[in-house]
Amino acid sequence: MTGSWMIYGANGYTGILITELAVSRGMKPIVAGRNRRLITKIAKKHSLDSKVFSLESIEFLKKQLNNIDIFLNCAGPFSKTANIAMKGCIESNTHYLDITGEIDIYEIAHTLNERAKQSGVVLCPGVGFDVIPTDCLSFLLKEKLPTASELSLAFSPKGGSLSPGTLKTSVESLGNGGRVRADGKIIKVPIGHKSRKIDFGNGPRSTASISWGDISTAFYTSGIGNICVFYPFSSKSLKRLRLSQKFLFLLDNIFIQKVIKSIISTFVKGPNNLKREKSKIVVWGEVKDKNKKSVKGIFSIGNGYDVTASGAIEAVVHLLNNTEDSGFYTPALLLGTSILKKLPGFSGIKFET
């Protein structure tokens, strides 16, 4: 296994976890980002090479990626970094990975498929909790029911908390409203416009639809044209969410976003090791066909941040050992569903017909 690779945004909460996991496995990534003090500190701590730069332009990034085989982007919100990064990677013949859960980033990557193939590079966003587990479940459910025309996915965290970067991304996502895929097309809908009861293992819980990365990726992975993702909400929370819709457009205002993100940076820290160890995520999915046949699948994995760190490293290892892949991939199509067995806390999948 040879090749040079870079973790950009290595000073962020998840970037630090990925760097530490890589070093523990004997890997030597180049750590990079905009914050000179923090990047230098991380590089010195782990005896790694480093680079300090911002994603100013495609041409500028191309120069920074000279002789870099893989660029792992951990700098969110990815709406601000991924477009330039993917195009810069194509220009510099560098594979691109990131840990986004943003629908628009997957869609941009898909439009760059042919350019990536011509350059001989892979574009694979979402090599973390967003969206490896759910993407693999989508593939396996379609395999169980090839005639499936409708896919529902859901996940339920048990303990844990969010990092600053995840919260900042969520602020942007709420401003964009909800989305689902209907008849192959992504359409805008009110947040929480659909609701259903889902049993995550301890009896039925109320859930509502959310705008999640699988609205994009599961379509390319499974070929299913109708996709909705659900998340648990109490009845009161769901009612508040729906009542607040009239004000969510304010989150689309750049100034208001900056104020909220500044508050998050000041006061929010990611979960500590103990909280991550005690938390897990239950992942659930169901496919149906036009004849009302259905298959359900459910499993649990470890904390989302640990899953993201592990998934990102496995994606890097895959690309270091596979030189023929090129173009846009979803995680399941690039890594195969066997990647689930390598994720922390994976319980195995229980299917029900």
In a domain, 10, yes or no: yes
**Do residue 202 and residue 292 come from a single domain?**
yes
In a domain, 341, yes or no: no
In a domain, 338, yes or no: no
**Do residue 299 and residue 321 come from a single domain?**
no
In a domain, 337, yes or no: no
Structural domain that includes position 244: 132-304+346-352
What is the pLDDT, as a whole number, of residue 105?
A: 96
Residue 99 — very low, low, confident or very high, per pLDDT cuts 50/70/90?
very high
What's the whole-model pTM score?
Answer: 0.89
CATH code: domain of residue 81: 3.40.50.720
Residues 181-187, mean pLDDT to the nearest whole number: 97
**Do residue 93 and residue 26 come from a single domain?**
yes
What is the pLDDT, as a whole number, of residue 11?
A: 95
Residue 130 clears pLDDT 80, i.e. is over it: yes
Residues 285-301 have pLDDT tens digits of 999 999 999 999 999 99
What is the pLDDT, as a whole number, of residue 240?
A: 62
CATH code: domain of residue 255: 3.30.360.10
Residues 142-180 have pLDDT tens digits of 999 999 999 999 999 886 544 444 444 444 455 566 899
The least confident of 127-131, 173-177, 202-206, 219-223 is: 173-177
What is the pLDDT, as a whole number, of residue 255?
A: 47
Q: Which residue in this structure is represented by tokens 């923090």? A: 38
**Do residue 89 and residue 178 come from a single domain?**
no
What is the pLDDT, as a whole number, of residue 175?
A: 53
**Do residue 260 and residue 315 come from a single domain?**
no
**Do residue 180 and residue 103 come from a single domain?**
no
Residue 323 — very low, low, confident or very high, per pLDDT cuts 50/70/90?
confident
The least confident of 13-22, 53-62, 228-237 is: 228-237
Residues 300-305, mean pLDDT to the nearest whole number: 92
Q: Which residues of 157-169 are buried (b: 16+ CB within 10 A; e: fewer)?
A: beebbbbbbbbbb
**Residue with the larger pLDDT of the pair 339 and 236:** 339
In a domain, 262, yes or no: yes
What is the pLDDT, as a whole number, of residue 76?
A: 84
**Do residue 142 and residue 240 come from a single domain?**
yes
CA–CA distance, 174 with 210 (Å, rounded to integer): 9
Residues 230-272 have pLDDT tens digits of 988 876 666 666 555 555 554 454 544 454 445 445 544 556 6
CA–CA distance, 238 with 138 (Å, rounded to integer): 26
**Do residue 147 and residue 266 come from a single domain?**
yes
CA distances from 260 to 78, 160, 205 (A): 17, 22, 31
In a domain, 326, yes or no: yes
Residues 11-16, mean pLDDT to the nearest whole number: 94
Residue 208 clears pLDDT 50, i.e. is over it: yes
**Do residue 35 and residue 91 come from a single domain?**
yes
What is the pLDDT, as a whole number, of residue 163?
A: 40
**Do residue 115 and residue 235 come from a single domain?**
no
In a domain, 27, yes or no: yes
**Do residue 188 and residue 46 come from a single domain?**
no
What is the pLDDT, as a whole number, of residue 270?
A: 59
In a domain, 18, yes or no: yes
What is the pLDDT, as a whole number, of residue 164?
A: 45
Give me the percent of the chain exceeding a pLDDT of 70.
82
Residues 68-77, mean pLDDT to the nearest whole number: 94
**Do residue 172 and residue 259 come from a single domain?**
yes
**Residue with the larger pLDDT of the pair 176 and 25:** 25
Structural domain count, the chain: 2
Residue 105 half-sphere exposure toward CB, CA atoms < 13 A = 32
CA–CA distance, 223 with 227 (Å, rounded to integer): 10
